[in-house]
Amino acid sequence: MQPVRQDPRSRNRATQIVEKWQQTGNRVLLESSGAALEVSAYGVNMLRFRFSPNGIFEDDFSYAVVQKPEAFEGKFSLRKVGDEFHVLTDELVCKISNSLNIRIFNKAGQLISEDERGFFWEPYPQKGGNQVFNNRKIQEGEHFFGLGDKPTRLNLRGLRFENWGSDTYGYEKNSDPLYKNIPFFMGLHSGLGYGIFFDNTFKTRFDFGHERSDICTFWSEGGEMSYYFIYGPELMSVSEGYVYLTGTPELPPLWALGYHQSKWSYYPESKLMSVANEFRIRKIPCDGLHIDIDYMDGFRCFTWDRQRFPDARRMLQDLLEDGFKSVVIIDPGIKIDKDYAVYQDAMAKDMFCRRADGPVMEGNVWPGSCHFPDFTNPEVREWWSGLFKDFTKSGIRGIWNDMNEPALFEIGTFPEDTRHDFDGHPCSHRKAHNVYGMQMARATWEGIKKSIYPNRPFAMSRSGYSGIQRYAAVWTGDNLATWEHVWIANIQIQRLSISGLSFCGSDIGGFIGRAGGELFVRWLQMGAFHPFFRTHYSGDYGDQEPWSFGDKWTALAKKAIETRYRILPYLYTAFWQYTSKGTPIVRPLSFIDQNDPETLFRMDEYGFGPDLLVCPITKEGDEGRLMYLPKGIWYNFWTDLEVEGGEEVFVQTSMAEIPVFIRAGAIMPQYPVMQYVGEVSFDAMPLHIYYLHGTYTSSLYEDAGDFYGHDQGNYRLRTFELEGFANKVDIRQSWEGRFNPEYTTYKMVFHGLPFIPAGMLLDGKVVMFSLDYSAEKGSFTMEVDKKFEHLSLMNLEGFAD
Ligand code: MIG
């Protein structure tokens, strides 16, 4: 092997000529000056780049990526063209220079992304490895998005970040790092969107033109320079491509999309039960009740405090009968206590992390001195999963993984020398830190999945690495009860969602401090349009239940939660799209219309599922606000007023609602209000039809809302095609799957019809119908058998045609 030549700037890079090149299947290998580059194809728009300073690659193992290049069957070839090497798919041309510099073009010849210095490294002997870098040029007008939970403005241009999962109690705007480690970002310039996933679990850093305004760099304190390049050009498909690589989650149980109430902590039993009763008495819908650490016996995981909860099983069953699903918290720290069964078992089986010099690693958390399972060891995960068997059979339906950054009191996290198995690739905490939380969530999810089968599991996690979405919903941690935090939560949820983590939410009302009624209600109104909808608070500053702020606010809180229950079938359909195709549920405006330059600068408004547009109110006293609607026609969700998008408008609301719009052409299913998922069955499914002069396609996905029947075809996916004319509207319905919901008819509500309906054809036949007219909204309602394939509603003129 040739010695690596020193770069004048003291950093190393390949500087000579590519002396070897070869292709094997979907992989290409180039060697230059002792360094090596492997390029492989994962899809026509998806390439992976791996570099090695000395020609030796690590064992190819990833906790994040679930795909293999072998699965890609399209064209992939290598050509030597003059001084360069070209790697080609049907969509991409990647040009590699002799010094292994890379430029990537689409097939139209447009430059998508290019290296500046490209790959280089710095020997890091004191840590036993290299720091690996990648430098790229920022293109003119380029915007950057992604990176998970960063609490900062949406466009990352000009900023610099670090990924090192941390317990950031009371974080603020621009705090960094936070709990999650998602080394994935997207770039957009000249209408070309792409993404880069840097699959490296060491501490990683990203700079989007902060140090040098036209340079984007990402680097790591160890491991390999291995990254995936995903081309869109649509940002939405880049985000989907990332989820394709890192894995889709299972569909959650429908109840988990309902409202959740949480506090640190509801205890004893009588307190928890009175909160539950209060929901039912006041008729405020609620599905999830969260039980925080004080249920444990001296903070010992998998135990109950018998004084506070004398008969957990009976209590949990009573709650289930009343429609409440209990979610209990679990921590990674296992109390050092020789009389505690979980501790004894773990010690006997050698399940805990050890220090480099041998002893079991010890750290302080809630229970006092603890040891910590090494979740990066498959045997430990198996053991941990097994602990849920007895624990959940009492009636627990969800598990909440906390403190899994991992967090320690006093010293923050594990000492660097702590050893980890890393699935058979032994390493120190420097490499395992950022995946520890994900592997805990994985073991928990597998445990609860097995133990409550055939019910679907629900798990949530505070920390996580790329791929965490396969195992858990996430929340944004210990925020504050301030107006600024409504703004922060709004951005974090958009960012998490495009970073593969659509099942996300914030602690509504703020975890630390106490919201007033108005702040609480405004936050709740936004949370009703976030995928995970939970109020949680620390309990140190006063109550934060929907009825804690006086009657006026209680009524408004109730209305916000009821709205959530109405839109559940729409949201569930968006979840189906997410879990099957990776489509982000929440989408920034730039993901809705990236060719409209105005959207690139917006971050308050966001899309919720395919057809809703939401704009939270983040200032005290405001009863309306300026917002931007993407191009097209929109209906005010509350008043039915039509608005033409493409410009900023002032939207008047009240304390009762925040601005919400629905896209013209959409057909939106809604449930009647219920107190919890499945409480009532109904005969007529409300379908809201928003007239459009033109065509539009909507879907409705349904299944049992729980269990695994949908894997065997027991689901129903309906497609509605709307076509609107001046005097007529056509709706064509088709479906697949054999799930047959109980309702027999649709209660169709037509919004914005430009004509008065006088005749109807159902599957070609003239039928009699009766219409209800609402003068307030100008909408028409009628009931129709759910099995139609083609419905035409028209005015007299249209009928005469
Ligand atoms: O050190 O379990 O973010 O949601 O209520 C605090 C108690 C530990 C931090 C979590 C928070 C939870 C709290 N936990």
Burial class (CB in 10 A: 0-12, 13-18, 19+), 708: middle
Show the tokens assigned to 713. Answer: 């075809």
SS3 755: coil
Nearest CA to ligand 1 atom 2: 293
Residue 743, beta-bridge partner list: none
Report how far ligand 1's centroid is from the alpha carbon of 331 (Å). Answer: 10
User: Which pLDDT score is estimated for 13?
Assistant: 75
d(CA 558, CA 565): 11
Instruction: Give distance in angstroms: CA of 148 to centre of ligand 1.
Output: 20
Instruction: Report yes or no: 502 and 579 within 8 Å, Cβ to Cβ.
Output: no
Q: Is the CB of 367 under 6 A from ligand 1?
A: no
CA angle 784, 789, 795 (to 5 degrees): 60
Strand partners, 36: 31, 52
DSSP labels for 3-22?
PPPBPTTS-B---S-EEEEE
- The answer to whether the peptide bond before residue 183 is cis (omega within 30 degrees of 0) is no
List 121's β-bridge partners, or say none: 12, 132
Question: How many angstroms does the Cα of residue 507 sit away from the middle of ligand 1?
Answer: 11
Q: From atom 6 of ligand 1, which residue's Cα is the shortest distance away?
A: 403
Peptide bond into 454 cis (omega under 30): yes
Burial environment of residue 795 by CB neighbours within 10 A (0 to 12, 13 to 18, 19 or more)? middle
Whole-number Å distance, alpha carbon 408 to ligand 1 midpoint, is 12
What is the widest separation between alpha-carbon atoms in the chain? 89
Q: Which of 240, 402, 545, 605 is catalytic?
A: 402
Please name the residue ranges forming H helices in 506-653. Answer: 517-527, 551-566, 568-581, 589-592
Q: How far is the CA of 362 from the centre of ligand 1 (A)?
A: 20
Q: Is 721 in contact with 731 (CB distance < 8 Å)? A: yes
362 included as an active-site residue:
no
DSSP 463-510: -EETTGGGT-EEE--S-BSSHHHHHHHHHHHHHHHHTT--SEE-EET-
What is residue 29's three-state secondary structure? strand
Q: Which residues pair with 188 in a beta bridge?
A: 143, 193
Cα 123 to ligand 1 centroid, rounded to whole Å:
39
- Mutate which of 169, 266, 403 for ligand 1? The one with the most ligand atoms within 8 Å of its CB, which is 403
| Distance in Å, CA 531 to ligand 1 centroid | 21
Q: Closest Cα to atom 13, ligand 1: which residue?
A: 264
**pLDDT single digits (tens) 204-261:** 999 999 999 999 999 999 999 999 999 999 999 999 999 999 999 999 999 999 999 9
Residue owning the nearest CA to atom 12 of ligand 1: 264
Say yes or no: CB of residue 635 within 6 Å of ligand 1: no
End-to-end CA gap in the chain: 83
Q: What share of the chain is helix, strand, coil (3-state, %, to 5)?
A: 20, 35, 45
The segments of the chain whose pLDDT lies below 70 read: 1-11, 15, 128, 801
Cis peptide before 531 (omega within 30 of 0): no
CA of 308 to the centre of ligand 1 (A): 19
**For residues 581 and 1, what is the distance between their CA atoms, to the nearest angstrom?**
45
Please indicate whether residue 142, judged by its CB atom, sits closer than 6 Å to ligand 1. no
Instruction: Confirm whether 702 is a catalytic residue.
Output: no
With a 6 Å cutoff on the Cβ, whether 264 touches ligand 1 is: yes
Exposed / middle / buried, residue 540 (Cβ in 10 Å: 0-12, 13-18, 19+): exposed
Task: Confirm whether 405 is a catalytic residue.
Answer: yes
Distances (CA, A) of 220 to 120, 132, 630, 637: 11, 6, 38, 46
Q: Contact at 8 Å (CB) between 160 and 210?
A: yes
Output the six-digit token pair for 393.
């059979």
Q: Residue 333 C-alpha to ligand 1 middle, in angstroms? A: 13
Residue 3 has what pLDDT?
Answer: 44
Measured distance CA(205)–CA(619) in Å, rounded: 33
Whether ligand 1 lies within 6 angstroms of the CB of 400 is answered as no
Cα 240 to Cα 186, 466, 582, distances in angstroms:
12, 14, 5
From the CA of 511, give the closest atom in ligand 1: 4
In short, whether 402's Cβ falls inside 6 Å of ligand 1 is: yes
| DSSP code of residue 750 | E
Beta bridge partners of 196: 185, 229
Task: Say if ligand 1 is within 6 A of residue 292 CB.
Answer: yes
Per-residue tokens: 161: 């970040």
Decide whether any atom of ligand 1 lies within 6 Å of the 171 Cβ: no
Cβ of residue 398 lying under 6 Å from some atom of ligand 1: no
Each residue's pLDDT tens digit, 713-757: 999 999 999 999 999 999 999 999 999 999 999 999 999 999 999
CA of 550 to the centre of ligand 1 (A): 27
Smallest CA separation from ligand 1 atom 14, residue: 402
| Nearest CA owner, ligand 1 atom 5 | 264
> Is residue 284 in contact with ligand 1, taking CB distance under 6 Å?
no
Which helix (H) or strand (E) segment is 276 a member of? helix 269-282
- Here the tokens at position 447 are 């445990």
**Candidate from 178, 292, 461, 512 with most ligand 1 atoms within 8 A of CB, to mutate:** 292
Nearest to 505 by CA among 544, 548, 535: 535
Atom of ligand 1 nearest to the CA of 538: 5
Count of C-beta atoms within a 10 Å radius of residue 37: 24
Ligand 1 touching residue 486 (CB < 6 A): no
Tell me if 151 CB under 6 Å of ligand 1. no
User: Which member of 405, 507, 702, 703 is catalytic?
Assistant: 405
State the distance from the centre of ligand 1 to the C-alpha of 170, rounded, in angstroms. 11
**pLDDT for position 801:** 65
β-bridge partners, 216: 136, 208
> In the prediction, which pLDDT does 193 show?
98
327 in contact with ligand 1, CB cutoff 6 A: no
How far, in Å, CA of 506 to CA of 365, rounded? 24
Question: Mutate which of 167, 261, 264, 413 to test ligand 1's pocket (most atoms within 8 Å of Cβ)?
Answer: 264
Cβ of 647: how many Cβ atoms within 10 Å? Answer: 10
**Among 199, 269, 478, 611, the one annotated catalytic:** 478
Is 176's C-beta closer than 6 angstroms to any atom of ligand 1?
A: no
User: Distance between CA 740 and CA 706 in Å, rounded?
Assistant: 15
| 516 CA → ligand 1 middle, Å | 22
- Of ligand 1's listed atoms, the one at least distance from the Cα of 478 is 3
Give dist(CA 660, CA 613) in Å, integer: 6
Give the rounded distance of the alpha carbon of 31 from its chain centre: 39
> Residue 566 corresponds to which amino acid?
R
Is 296's C-beta closer than 6 angstroms to any atom of ligand 1?
no
User: Is 442 touching ligand 1 by the criterion CB < 6 Å?
Assistant: no
- In whole angstroms, give the CA distance from residue 60 to residue 425: 10
Residue 402 alpha carbon to ligand 1 centre in Å? 7
* Cβ(207) – ligand 1 distance below 6 Å: no
Residues in the chain: 801
Index of the ligand 1 atom closest to the CA of residue 262 = 5
Residues β-bridged to residue 102: 96
Which atom belonging to ligand 1 lies closest to the Cα atom of 477? 3
